[in-house]
Structure 1
């Protein structure tokens, strides 16, 4: 539909949408606040579960294909997380100073731990040990492998090898987070976005998106927002911008 609009004399505009909050330029995308809020609840539950078991490890996988904003903010909000793994910060698994060594040390010190993982983290480690995946979902995004399940199994194998008791639980609250109703903050933000984009259309602008930049409602030429690997809509951008 976007391509067809470009060939018609019709103004077009978009509102950026992603819970991952990985859209450049804007301060945040709508849905991010409630995603962090619900993710924090999952982390709090995971912490209770981990404390209830001998050497309990609770693994919480959150959204974040290319950026770890949800995982990072939920980690900061909960204050119960021992390790947060995000795509922007590569890590090693088995080498000295790696994840397995850190987990072992943490369990010996505290007897339990909570690990938060963004779904895009550690994909490079999986690629080295498994066949590359070229499949894509209905939106055209590359299908990510379940790094959480793979890491969980790697942790189990490690502790079995060193004969150390460990109880691991793997939690994936993604669909629960997607299904919760929006909170007051997101409701207000969505209203501002909708009103702003309509005002821009009535002023005669086209080929733009509306969003908060440094706390101000702005109109952003779509080619500016699109000039990054995290946004996959380059074919829809008119040469003239706004």
Structure 2
């Protein structure tokens, strides 16, 4: 089993944009007994309060599942909670848990996870959209197909859950489509190369680029390991 001896630091940002409701949600939880962390980002389907509620239920449930059980188990728990809610809302979801040396990820829909090595982003997830379905079969999708998901938290079968693992990079980025459909991967990486930038810079840039959706990002990075410091006793100073 993967262990975690260093804790990542993270930040989140979100904006409602021109929508009536912000149906995106993020959550993170650190288990006080193990130090293990679980991150989650959800994007509610539709511009309605029921969508926002589904997203909040999904992320708050997912992060409470121990990281040792894996992000797939967190996704399954979120699905049970969303299905049990009488509000009837739905969402897409990505869940990630770090281990020493990398991250494990599970997802449904078009919420994304990227690894970050300090210079470039690598997409870890593969969109569950009608557009991607046709691309995989060598056909050109229409623009509308980019916004039609083929899996969601409420509807996906367990075998349809996406999963991935990455080893090596120090950072992880989770985004809703309001970020990654408004900005190219190269544009996002250029923003993140500025040391002070993070989730807020991506969300601001997505809105400035004319984004028409809620935009949300979560950025996590492992802090550099500090060398062990040797202690030297201070000399005793005698008073005269």
What's the TM-score, normalizing by structure 2?
0.29
Q: Which has the higher helix share?
A: 1
What's the TM-score, normalizing by structure 1?
0.29
Higher relative contact order (CA 8 A, sep 6+): 1
